[in-house]
């Protein structure tokens, strides 16, 4: 992958905003405001797509991003940028906008899914607390004072505790002084 192509992509997307690139998996991710909306792989720019803008890319004759994964063909929701859009920043701008909008929608879905998962975990935790509170407590078993490790029933863990110390009486009165 040539650095010149990355520079050209950055120039094309310049009017869209402060775009940054980050190396990843032998290519580059293209980000705006922390959201990846494009990929550069093998000197080709791919833009983010979803169910809302996929038809636009298909009508323009754009190919979907595909790669080999464990001997099989895998695809991502990124489509090759149209050839005419690669010629000027003005023609690229609407395509960059639609790709960024798809990235925003995908991010919103992730946040909603994360909130739903957190709510499920909280509900499960509350259910466990409620269920444990509903169970009757086991009565405490008293041990005889003479029970020693040798006479203790099998399976009980040996715990040595210091004998309880009686509280010292507090002396009150006048201090010598």
Once rounded to an integer, what is the mean pLDDT over residues 45-63? 92
List the chain domain ranges: 3-125
The single-letter DSSP state of residue 47 is E
69-93 residue pLDDT tens: 888 988 889 999 999 999 999 999 9
Q: Which residue has the higher pLDDT, 177 or 90?
A: 90
Cα separation of 132 and 115, whole Å?
A: 26
> Model's pTM, two decimal places?
0.62
**CATH superfamily label, 3-125:** YgaC/TfoX-N like chaperone (3.30.1460.30)
Residue 104's closest CA among 53, 39, 46, 40? 53
90-111 residue pLDDT tens: 999 999 999 999 999 998 887 8
Q: Given 3-state DSSP classes, what are the helix, strand and coil percentages for the chain, each rounded to the nearest 5?
A: 40, 20, 40
């Amino acid at each position: 992958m040539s650095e010149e192509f990355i520079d050209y992509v950055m120039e094309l997307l310049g009017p869209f905003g402060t775009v940054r690139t980050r190396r990843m998996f032998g290519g580059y991710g293209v980000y705006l405001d922390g959201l990846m909306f494009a990929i550069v792989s093998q000197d080709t720019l791919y833009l983010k797509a979803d169910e809302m803008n996929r038809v636009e890319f298909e009508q323009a004759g754009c190919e979907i991003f595909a790669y080999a994964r464990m001997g099989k063909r895998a695809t991502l929701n990124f489509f090759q940028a149209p050839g005419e859009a690669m010629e000027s920043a003005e023609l690229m701008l609407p395509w960059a906008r639609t790709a960024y909008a798809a990235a925003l929608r995908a991010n919103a879905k992730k946040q909603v899914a994360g909130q739903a998962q957190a709510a499920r975990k909280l509900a499960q935790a509350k259910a466990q607390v409620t269920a444990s509170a509903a169970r009757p407590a086991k009565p405490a078993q008293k041990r005889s004072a003479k029970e020693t490790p040798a006479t203790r029933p099998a399976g009980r863990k040996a715990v040595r505790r210091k004998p309880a110390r009686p509280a010292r009486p507090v002396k009150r009165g006048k201090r010598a002084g």
